[in-house]
């Protein structure tokens, strides 16, 4: 699913989906992946049952991503089964080999102060997909703050999703500078926590894919 995009426009992941209405809007404007946040402390938390009720109505070409923070492996596996997850996103302090035996790929979140730090931060993760977000010692699951930009080695950029304060107004510059595998947005396309704004969704996806 993800590999097919590597030579084309970036994959667009819309995270923090909490309702069928928002999921439908994201699909209609061209999102490739939808993220469901299973971290209870998040304002965008959804239960496995709620995520399943939304995910089971999605078209087959749209990927379902489960976001976890320091969850037990059995919890992750249960969500994979019930929701039908295509990707597991690890956003906590999980060991480097956590998730190696899951039957779906993992997207490992790395928190840095700038993209220039990513090559060093990625050394413990020499393969697989990475998501880079702004560091905050007190927060998990995304800070909503933009990262200082810099280019990345091509091989690393080809497996990285850039997150952190992206908006329809900033995503074009990020894609042109980094040329990442994908981009990930949550608060930047919302009218309030957990409530997506249709116009901002449409502008974000179109700007990202046209960059």
Catalytic residue numbers, as ranges: 15, 133
Residue 90: in which H helix or E strand, if any?
strand 87-90
Residue identified by tokens 């399943």 is 52
The two three-digit tokens of residue 114, written as one number = 């700038």
- Alpha-carbon span 148 to 126, nearest angstrom: 23
Q: Is the dihedral of CA 4, 201, 143, 18 positive or negative?
A: negative
Q: How far apart are CA 51 and CA 79, in angstroms?
A: 9
| DSSP H or E segment with residue 24 | helix 20-28
């Amino acid at each position: 699913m993800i590999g097919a995009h590597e030579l084309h426009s970036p994959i667009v992941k819309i995270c923090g989906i909490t309702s069928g209405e928002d999921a439908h809007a994201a699909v209609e404007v061209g999102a490739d992946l939808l993220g469901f946040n299973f971290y209870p402390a998040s304002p965008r938390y959804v239960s496995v049952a709620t995520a399943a009720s939304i995910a089971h109505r999605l078209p087959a070409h749209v990927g379902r991503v489960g976001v976890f923070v320091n969850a037990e492996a059995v919890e992750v596996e249960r969500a994979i089964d019930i929701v039908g997850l295509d990707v597991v996103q690890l956003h906590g302090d999980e060991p480097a080999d956590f998730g190696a035996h899951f039957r779906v790929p993992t997207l490992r979140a790395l928190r840095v102060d700038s993209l220039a730090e990513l090559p060093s931060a990625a050394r413990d993760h020499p393969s697989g997909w990475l998501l880079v977000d702004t560091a905050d010692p007190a927060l998990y699951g995304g800070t909503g703050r933009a990262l200082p930009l810099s280019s990345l080695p091509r091989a690393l950029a080809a497996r990285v999703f850039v997150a952190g304060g992206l908006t329809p107004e900033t995503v074009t510059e990020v894609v042109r500078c980094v040329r990442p595998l994908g981009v990930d947005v949550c608060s930047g396309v919302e009218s309030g926590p957990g409530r997506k704004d249709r116009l901002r969704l449409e502008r974000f996806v179109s700007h990202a894919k046209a960059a």
